[in-house]
Amino acid sequence: MRQLILPIGSYFNAPGMPEIFRLGQLRSDLVMRKWLLLSVIVLAVLGYLSFPKKVVTPWEGLPTEKQLPQDPAIRVYFNQSRAHQYRDYRGLLRYGDDLEAQIISELSHARLTVDMAIHQLNLPGIAKALIACQQRGVKVRVVLEHRYNQDFPTVAFPERLPRQEREEYQKWQRSVDQNGDGIVVVAELKRRDALWMLKDAGIAMIDDTAGGSKGSAIMHHKFIVIDGQQVVTGSTNFTTSDIHGDLDDPTTRGNVNHLIVLDSSEVAAAFSEEFAWLWGGQFSRAKPDRPPQQFWVGGSRVMVTFGPSASQQSSINLLIASLLERAQKSIDFALFNFSSPEIAFMLAHKAETGVQVRGALDPGFAYRPYSSSLDLWGLRRCSGFPGNRLMRLGVALIPKNDKLHHKFALIDENIVITGSHNWSTNADARNDENALVIENRIVAAHFYREFERIYRLTKHGPPKRKIETLPCPLS
């Protein structure tokens, strides 16, 4: 009986057992051990994959820069700032000011009115803040760009949508479908769909097709007027990709953007007037000519202007060019889209006169046929255009799916030009836009630090690949 409980290998190798059985059992033992080892490895891998792990980012644990002082009346925030860290909606600890949290904070102080004109909105946190405003008696109105005022929950056949709308639908579904089952239910809409939440709460909303309007080329504003006393504006849309990063791409950190908060009833009145035109269905060139307005905000001079203008003589691009002409020492700029020949000519001219001109451009726009970078790099010769190549102009090296979305320039480290306005011909002629000029060394110091951060990671000069000589954009 004792022999019956011997290990199987011992039994087959017992004295008197035929050799062929002993060899066969040896092979069987080796196969069994291999399978046991493979099973252990598989179980270990499955256990590792199922065990909850902390998401570590390349920035985690790195020191932050010294915080710069803020002007009490004009505060500036950057979603890539190295002076702060926060944990975004994906759970990633990263550098930056949380622009969404800042917007929500400003909305929490509203007591009378909130007027918002926003190109694109999909952040549920901001939607909840607007609903909270309404619930405490604040009058809330929202103007949207019609291309992003989509009623996706009612789409029955998304596969039949045009390609661009279908891609937007797919992004919407990924962001709203929290459990990933492919079905969006009302409970998920209440938590994740910002526009559905606003409509369900009865928030007053229109887009740029209201009142029979044909719509703007782009209703590109990004501003909020609170209680007629405060303006929140800048380069950022109120979206996950513009502030935090893409839901399905943890390498992204959000399009590179900034936010400005101005405490000024005079500036607020100027933005309220623009909002009134929009709310009345007056978009693009339906509005009258509105010359720039100048105000004192605290001890700072601030100029505010809106586009498009009714006449070329009062265009935003010409205003920017005239401001750049005043530069004595330096011009630094960071831009998403740059195709204004007037501004390009002025930058080239100032560089020839000895002014230090440096620029960082978004890689997705810098090499396009209409980009003014081609002129400034000397790849396209126009009659009367200065001949020197601007080699201090380059392309920002940012994560592949992020964009350099800023629209700012810094003149002599003292004057900041910013707003929603890209330096493009289309923005100048057709879009609903705004631009601000701020003369304030404290504010300028923030933009200087941001520019230096971007410029350190900029590839200077024209691309190595050949670009054919292109015609002058004015011809």
| pLDDT-based confidence at residue 467 (cuts at 50, 70, 90) | low
Homologous superfamily (CATH) of 92-286 is Endonuclease Chain A (3.30.870.10)
- Report DSSP state, residue 372: T
Inter-CA distances, 32 with 6, 9, 20, 27, 430, Å: 17, 11, 18, 9, 75
Q: Is 78 exposed, middle or buried (0-12, 13-18, 19+ CB in 10 A)?
A: buried
Q: Give residue-wise pLDDT tens across range 320-330.
A: 999 999 999 99
Asked if 92-286 and 288-475 have one fold, the answer is yes
pLDDT tens sequence across 353-370 = 999 999 999 999 998 888
pLDDT surpassing 50 at residue 335: yes
Least-confidence region, from 129-133, 185-189, 232-236, 257-261:
185-189
Poorest-pLDDT segment among 13-27, 293-307, 382-396? 13-27
Retrieve residue 179's tokens: 């459990």
Domain ranges for the chain: 2-50, 92-286, 288-475
The tens digit of pLDDT for each residue in 116-175 reads: 999 999 999 999 999 999 999 999 999 999 999 988 988 888 899 999 888 888 888 888
Q: What's the pLDDT at 19?
A: 46
pLDDT band at 471 (very low <50, low <70, confident <90, very high): low
Q: Pick the residue with more confidence: 42 or 312?
A: 312
pTM: 0.85
Residue 13, exposed/middle/buried by CB under 10 A (0-12, 13-18, 19+)?
Answer: middle
Question: 288-475 has which fold?
Answer: Endonuclease; Chain A (3.30.870)
Is the pLDDT confidence value at 53 over 60?
no
